[in-house]
């Protein structure tokens, strides 16, 4: 059966197919070799980098364990800092709410202050009016006291005059004013 298929294809076509097949196989082999070389070079490069890093760590920290300990400490500090930052954020929110409440209270107190100031001014006006009234009443009282004093003096004078006249009945007469 193979001969029958081969009969239909010319020699040039067969040669061309074989050449393309060898080129494809050669290209695939070349690419595989290139892949393995790159893989090995990357591994060597990574291994070299890892070794260089390890030597630098040894120089800087003394040992890998000490580095791991420092990395652990730094990680714990970072987690602590994140917790503190979260608590600060929460406290910031609470402070913001408290500030809003304080602002509301401040506005209410300002309104209350203004209302009380109006009341104070009204009371001061009433007090000054009462003082004026008391002052005028005081003057009236003083005048009345003077009048009472004058009347008492006149009353005393009349009593003395009556007593004098009661001792001497012949000289009774009405006082002239």
What is the mean predicted confidence (pLDDT) over 107-133?
93
Q: Is the pLDDT of residue 62 over 90?
A: no
Distance CA 99, CA 89 (A): 15
Half-sphere exposure of 14 (CA within 13 A, CB side): 8
Q: Is the pLDDT of residue 21 over 80?
A: yes
* pLDDT (0 to 100) of residue 1: 46
Q: Is the pLDDT of residue 59 over 80?
A: no
User: Percent of the chain beyond pLDDT 90?
Assistant: 41
Q: Is the pLDDT of residue 57 over 80?
A: no
State the chain's mean pLDDT as an integer: 84
What is the mean predicted confidence (pLDDT) over 101-109?
95
Distance CA 40, CA 49 (A): 14
Distance CA 27, CA 19 (A): 12
Q: Is the pLDDT of residue 97 over 90?
A: yes
Tokens 């009349």 correspond to what residue?
Answer: 158
- Indicate the SS3 state at residue 9: coil
* 41 phi, psi to nearest 5 deg: -65, -40
* DSSP-assigned letter for residue 8: T
* DSSP-assigned letter for residue 174: P
* pLDDT (0 to 100) of residue 9: 76
What is the mean predicted confidence (pLDDT) over 131-145?
88
Largest pairwise CA distance in the chain: 199
- Indicate the SS3 state at residue 93: helix
User: Percent of the chain beyond pLDDT 70?
Assistant: 86
What is the mean predicted confidence (pLDDT) over 17-30?
90
What is the mean predicted confidence (pLDDT) over 106-127?
94
Give the CA distances from residue 83 to residues 78, 80, 119, 163, in Å, rounded to whole numbers and listed in that order. Answer: 9, 5, 53, 111
Distance CA 53, CA 47 (A): 10
Q: Work out the pLDDT band at 52, boundaries 50, 70, 90.
A: confident
Q: Is the pLDDT of residue 24 over 50?
A: yes
Closest C-alpha to 158, from 144, 175, 146, 136: 175
Q: Is the pLDDT of residue 144 over 50?
A: yes
């Amino acid at each position: 059966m193979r001969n029958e298929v081969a009969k239909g294809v010319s020699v040039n076509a067969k040669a061309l197919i074989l050449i393309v097949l060898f080129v494809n196989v050669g290209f695939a082999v070349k690419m595989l070799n290139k892949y393995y070389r790159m893989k090995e070079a990357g591994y060597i490069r990574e291994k070299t980098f890892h070794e260089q890093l390890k030597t630098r760590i040894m120089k800087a920290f003394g040992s890998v364990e000490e580095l791991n300990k420092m990395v652990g400490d730094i990680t714990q500090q970072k987690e602590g800092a994140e917790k503190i930052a979260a608590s600060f954020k929460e406290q910031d929110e609470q402070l913001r709410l408290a500030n809003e409440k304080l602002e509301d209270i401040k506005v209410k107190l300002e309104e209350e202050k203004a209302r009380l100031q109006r009341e104070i001014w009204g009371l001061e006006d009433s007090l000054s009016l009462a003082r004026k009234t008391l002052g005028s009443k005081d003057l009236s009282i003083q005048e009345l006291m003077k009048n009472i004093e004058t009347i008492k003096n006149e009353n005393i004078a009349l009593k003395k005059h009556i007593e004098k006249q009661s001792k001497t009945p012949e000289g009774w007469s009405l006082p002239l004013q």
